[in-house]
Structure 1
Amino acid sequence: MTTETEEPTLTVDELAARAGVTVRTVRFYSAKGLLPPPVIGPRRVGRYGQAHLARLALIEELQHQGMTLAAIERHLRQLPADVSARDLAIHRAVVASWAPDTVETMTREELQRRAGRPLGEQDLERLAAMNVAVPDEGGDGGDDAYRVDPGLLRLGVELLDVPLGLDTVLAARGVLIEHSRAAARELSRLLREAVAERDSTEVKSLSAHMQPLVVQALLTSFQRSLREELREWLTDGEQPTRES
């Protein structure tokens, strides 16, 4: 795994596996200009990083929204050339907010392909506990079927590698849900009061226009607040040095 400050380390095979696509798809997107070229390392081997992975996730999300390849190409062309993996992830979250809540039924094989990695029994238990991929007991898909939330799948898979206990992850999820719902209620109240006298058709149009903007504002403000909290936490742990 790479970070924003590390050199890209993923081969094309590793990138494809992490993104849950084929190598052929990666090369096709690269040829179309949807992915920036890799960093060429020793032995002329291309290396990819987190920005490539985040861009693949964004392309997948745009496809789920029903955008054609040409429309996706135009959409990506509007992004800054040096856009970071973090900003791409935020952009993808905003795009995902446009879509209605959906649940897909898929086999374990398909789930692993979409996850971009093998999933052991413990992994599946954690995904089920997070309500990301739940066994479809009694459904039409058979014993090997799972009900999957596509919007949460990539996040859930990334959380499998976070060195935190499941109880902590679920507690954090509860905190986020509780406070996001509280923020949604307050924002909804403010918007209702602001458009109380308007026509219902106009209200629906305004709501559809505002939703991605509100989500982007929430993501940005939360990101900055979390950065400040972490900075204070780390600073408090540092002891001032005494001059001798």
Structure 2
Amino acid sequence: MEAEQQEAASVPEGGGDREFTVDELAARAGITVRNVRAYAARGLLPPPRLVGRTGYYGAEHVARLLLVREMLAEGYSLAVIERTLATAPSVGGSAALALHRALLAPWLPPEPEDTTADELTARAGVPVEPATLEEMVELGLLERLDDGRLRVTDPSLLTAGLQVVRLGVPPSALVAAQARVIELVREIAATYVGMFVETGWQAFVEAGAPPEQLDEVRAMVERLQPAAAQALLASFRTEMAAAVGAAVTAGLAAPADE
């Protein structure tokens, strides 16, 4: 790991002038050319600068490959790495990538899984209509693959949903409810992130993102996730109890009013 950090430190920041061919890039990152091409095919690397049919790569490409290599060594899959880098900054060098990874990693969903419409129907125990599947794709719960299969972006969410379906709730009704839940959760996430930005992140950025404070910021992000989840669950339980109580009271009172 120390050797990797020294290597990363030697990479010029901010897209330095030096460029590399694919062979030089692979040697610089300590991986094979075949892997470089495979990572590029997955979108883990931005396109090179082309001169004729020759591609030239810069410091940003080296930084990304070093980050990919590090995350693979820590046990992350390429699918998780792909999602991490999907929102990574296109400029800023290895330091910016490392910071991006450190802040995002605690929030990544579980490893996605691939399935088919028939398999989903079998697991649900009831037919899942094509229109319902399309709604799930639009919500980002599913992704369509080139071979016709479906990718479940968050298997834990699917498992919870299937449990509700087995209680007798139609899949279409559950998906409609989930669409509303996503809207509300997005607002909750924005609220917590806004709090984090105002109380910790902004000061870090205004100080020039000093490396010596990175561990402190990373620790704050890691502690924020379970704390926010616990607070959200506690509030949900309280409000759920109130809503169920109101619904039961209204249901019991209805016959007496007739």
After TM superposition, the score normalised by the length of structure 1 is 0.45
Q: TM-score, normalised by structure 2?
A: 0.43
Which has the higher Rg, Structure 1 or Structure 2? 2
Relative contact order, higher structure (CA 8 A, sep 6+): 1
Structure number with the higher helix fraction is 2
